[in-house]
Structure formats: C-alpha cells, structure tokens
C-alpha cells in the first residue's frame, strides 16, 4: 500500500499515532464481503455505488422470497450485472439462503457454479427477511457436512433468537450456545461470523482456528449505541446486530487494526426506503455503500493504523475465500465531501448513513 504525505519514518512509534497526516492512500481495489443490493429498481441506485469502489461483493440472499437455489442465484447475479455502469468491472459473488429444508445436493450445485461461494445461516426471524431462516441448527447438519466436505463457506448471522435473551446479549449468547458447538462439530467448515459487534465475538474469532473469520462493518467500527438515541430516536442508525456500547466498539477497532488476517471488510450496506425506516416499526439496516470506504479510512486513521487498511479491505477477505486479490488499485484522497441528504429510490428516498454530513476521505475520480 502506498501512503503519501507527511510521514515520519525515522520514528516508527508514530506508526500508530493518530496525529500522522497523510494526504493520499493507494490500495489494491477492495472487496465488500457482505452486501445487500435488493432487486429490480433498487439495483439501479445501489449497484453503481458499490461498483464505483469495490471490485467484488458477496451478495446477501435475503430477498423476499429468498435466494435458496443456485438457479435463482445465477439469475439474480445476471440482474445485478445488468446494472453495473459501463466501464466498471464489478463482480457479484453469490450466496444461498439456508432454510430448514435446504437439500444437501444444493450445495453441490452451488460449488459447481463457481460463483456461488457461500451459504448464509440466518437464525429464523433474527433480522430483515429472516423469517424463512433456520429454526434449529441441528436441522441443517447434513447440509453443513456437505459444505465442510466441498469447501463452501458458511456465513453466519450470529444472534440468538431465544425470546428471553436481551437484544444487546444476542450475539454473545449465540457464540456460547450455537457457534462454539458448531465450530467444534464441524472443525473443517469455513465460517464467516458476519458483522460482529462485540468483544466476545472478536475474541472468539481470535482464538478460533484458520477456518473461522469475521466481517466488520464501517458503522459498527464508527458508532456506538448512543448514536441510536442522540437527542431522540435515530432510525438510520438502527441495524442488526444493533450497535453496542463503546467498550465493544473499542474491541472491534483493536481487532481490525491488529493485523489478524481473519478480520475483513463487509459493509452490510442495507438499503431501505425512508418510509420503511422512519415509521413506528422501522426496518433494520444502514445504507453505507457510497461512503463506507471513507468511513473505514476514518476509523483506521483515528487508531493510527491507516497502514493496516489495505489488508483489511483488499487482501484478507479474498485470501479467506481462496481468491486472488484484485489486480487494479484505487486511490483515496484526503478531501472532505458531503454525503447526499438522500437518493431517489424506488419511488421514495434512500437516506444514507451520515446523510448531509462530511466524510474525510474521497475516492479519487469520484465526482
């Protein structure tokens, strides 16, 4: 990674100093290992935002109805590809949505496709469009065995769905009650613990073997749960897993800046219309695609760890999925830009995170 600007190489201890000023960052083009793009008209708006920055993205399958078969995933991929702006080379990689009834042979089809690289475990009802998810992990053991055998990655939404578990404890309880036993039962299964939000999840990944990794979102790195209630209820900060207390945010920052290759970028950018966010029972999801890389850069910079951003954003995820890194590079410039207040979206508005606010890092070439 090239870092230009005012650096003090003679003082290596400054390598972690937040005061170090650099003006541009050139990195291998990053990938987004956790992205929601929805379908139909939504694709027109959101696909160009991700394609402007990321080389590849792992597309989440929680449409309604969900993407449960390889045939559906391949057709969905074509619909996404049709919305990639000319001149950009964005590659959607696909995932299947596991249900209680997924047949193990579907895993063979996914593997053979070459573009379905993962299957997603949503505990039933845990999040947006998760009502078709898995009601008990035991029910999908034959599917997990097949995934372990064929090397298809399991992506996990790691939250307990037990109704008596406090919403802020759901991830920790999931680690104890579900994920730990699952990792023990399937030691060869490659698992990505998606959008981790707690110190316990980061620690679980740290002490697990090479088969267990985690994605971390920009919003969980940047905000704690106070953001949800700053002066009133802030629906655009509501996502699942919900933002956690500051000590957990600090633990996530430590994990991603540690250089451990099993932590990597997954934005979980999740568009919803303003109408469905700003209502009595609003949807979970933060729309971050247009600003995510700038947010990550801000978070790494605040930790004095800009030199660790490239591995997190561009190298670690590809390596975990057994893919080569992208061949081209991007440059981020230190140049404040204003996040639009909204985008026109599906006959309504799409309000991005930090709408109307400023981001300190801008993708060179972006207007």
> Catalytic site residues?
268
* Residue 200 makes contact with Zn ion by CB under 5 A: no
The residues in 266-285 that bind ligand DOR, with binding defined as CB under 6 A, are 268, 270, 284-285
- The minimum distance between CB 284 and ligand DOR, in angstroms, equals 4
Element (H, E) at 77: helix 70-81
Q: Answer for the pair 196, 252: CB distance below 8 angstroms, yes or no.
A: yes
- Residue 34 interacts with ligand DOR (CB under 6 A): yes or no: no
Pairing state between β 116-121 and 153-156:
parallel
Q: Which of 156, 34, 29, 157 is nearest to 93 (CA)?
A: 34
Beta strand segments in the chain, E:
2-6, 21-28, 32-35, 56-59, 91-97, 116-121, 153-156, 191-193, 212-216, 263-265, 329-338, 343-345, 348-350, 358-363
Question: Interface with ligand DOR includes 127 (CB under 6 A)?
Answer: yes
Q: Using CB under 6 A, which of 128, 198, 211, 314 touches ligand DOR?
A: 128
- Of 124, 144, 120, 141, the closest CA to residue 132 belongs to 124
**Phi and psi at residue 34, in whole multiples of 5°?**
-165, 100
Q: Which is nearer to ligand DOR, 77 or 236 (CB)?
A: 236
Among residues 55 and 61, whose Cβ is nearest to ligand DOR?
61
From the list Zn ion, ligand DOR, none, partner contacted by residue 27 (C-beta under 5 to 8 A by kind) = none
The number of residues that bind ligand DOR (CB under 6 A) is: 11
Q: Smallest gap, in angstroms, from Cβ of residue 133 to ligand DOR?
A: 10
Treating both helix axes as pointing N-terminal to C-terminal, what angle do 246-257 and 199-207 enclose, rounded to 10 degrees?
Answer: 30
Single residue of 50, 53, 58, 62 touching ligand DOR by CB under 6 A = 62
Listed residue (83, 33, 68, 34) closest to 270, CA to CA: 34
Closer Cβ to ligand DOR, 158 or 305, answer by number: 158
**239 in contact with ligand DOR (CB under 6 A):** yes
Would you say 106 or 268 has its CB closer to Zn ion? 268
Residue 288 binding ligand DOR, by CB under 6 A = no
Residues of this chain, 236-295, that bind Zn ion according to CB under 5 A: 268
With respect to ligand DOR, which residue has the nearer C-beta, 279 or 336? 279
- Work out how close the CB of 330 gets to ligand DOR at its nearest, in angstroms, rounded to a whole number: 26
Instruction: Check residue 159 for interaction with Zn ion (CB under 5 A).
Output: no
Cα distance between residue 179 and residue 175, in whole Å: 5
Asked whether 15 and 41 are in contact (CB, 8 A), the reply is no
Among 240, 243, 253, 315, binds ligand DOR (CB under 6 A): 240
Measured CA angle at 251 (ends 174, 187), to 5 deg: 45
- When asked if residue 109 is in the footprint of ligand DOR (CB under 6 A), the reply is no
Q: Residue 331 class from Cβ within 10 Å (0-12 exposed, 13-18 middle, 19+ buried)?
A: middle
Pick what 284 binds: Zn ion, ligand DOR, none; C-beta below 5 to 8 Å, kind-dependent: ligand DOR
Q: Where are the alpha helices (DSSP H) in 242-326?
A: 246-257, 274-277, 292-302, 309-310, 316-320
For residue 239, the Cα-to-chain-centroid distance in whole angstroms is: 12
Which is closer to Zn ion, CB of 32 or CB of 268?
268
Contacting residues toward ligand DOR, per CB under 6 A: 36, 62, 127-128, 157, 239-240, 268, 270, 284-285
Contacting residues toward Zn ion, per CB under 5 A: 268
């Amino acid at each position: 990674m090239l870092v230009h600007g005012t650096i003090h190489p003679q003082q290596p201890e400054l390598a972690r100093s937040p005061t170090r000023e650099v003006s541009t960052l050139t990195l291998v083009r990053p990938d987004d290992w956790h992205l929601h793009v929805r379908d139909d008209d939504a694709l027109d708006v959101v696909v160009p935002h991700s394609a402007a920055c990321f080389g590849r993205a792992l597309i989440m399958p929680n449409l309604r109805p969900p993407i449960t078969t390889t045939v559906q995933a391949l057709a969905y991929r074509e619909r996404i590809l049709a919305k990639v702006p000319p001149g950009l080379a964005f590659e959607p990689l696909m995932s299947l949505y596991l249900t209680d009834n997924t047949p193990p042979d579907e895993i063979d089809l996914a593997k053979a496709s070459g573009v379905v690289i993962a299957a997603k475990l949503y505990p039933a009802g845990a999040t947006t469009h998760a009502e078709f998810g898995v009601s008990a992990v035991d029910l999908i053991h034959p599917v997990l065995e097949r995934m372990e055998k064929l090397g298809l990655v399991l992506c996990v939404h790691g939250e307990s769905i037990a109704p008596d578990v406090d919403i802020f404890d759901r991830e920790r309880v999931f680690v104890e009650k579900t994920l730990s036993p699952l990792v023990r039962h399937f030691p060869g299964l490659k698992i990505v613990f998606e959008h981790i939000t707690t110190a316990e999840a980061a620690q679980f990944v740290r002490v697990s073997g090479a088969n267990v990794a985690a994605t971390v979102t920009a919003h969980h790195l940047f905000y704690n749960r106070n953001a949800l209630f700053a002066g009133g209820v802030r629906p655009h900060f509501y996502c699942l897993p919900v933002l956690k207390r500051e000590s957990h945010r600090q633990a996530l920052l430590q994990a991603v800046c540690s250089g451990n290759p099993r932590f990597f970028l997954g934005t979980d950018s999740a568009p919803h219309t303003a109408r469905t966010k700003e209502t009595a029972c609003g949807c979970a999801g933060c729309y971050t695609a247009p600003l995510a890389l700038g947010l990550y850069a801000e978070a790494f910079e605040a930790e004095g760890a800009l030199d660790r951003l490239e591995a997190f954003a561009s190298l670690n995820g590809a390596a975990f999925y057994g893919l080569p890194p992208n061949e081209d590079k991007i440059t981020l410039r230190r140049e404040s830009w204003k996040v639009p207040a909204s985008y026109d979206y599906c006959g309504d508005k799409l309000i991005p995170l930090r709408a109307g606010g400023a981001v300190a890092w801008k993708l060179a070439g972006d207007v």
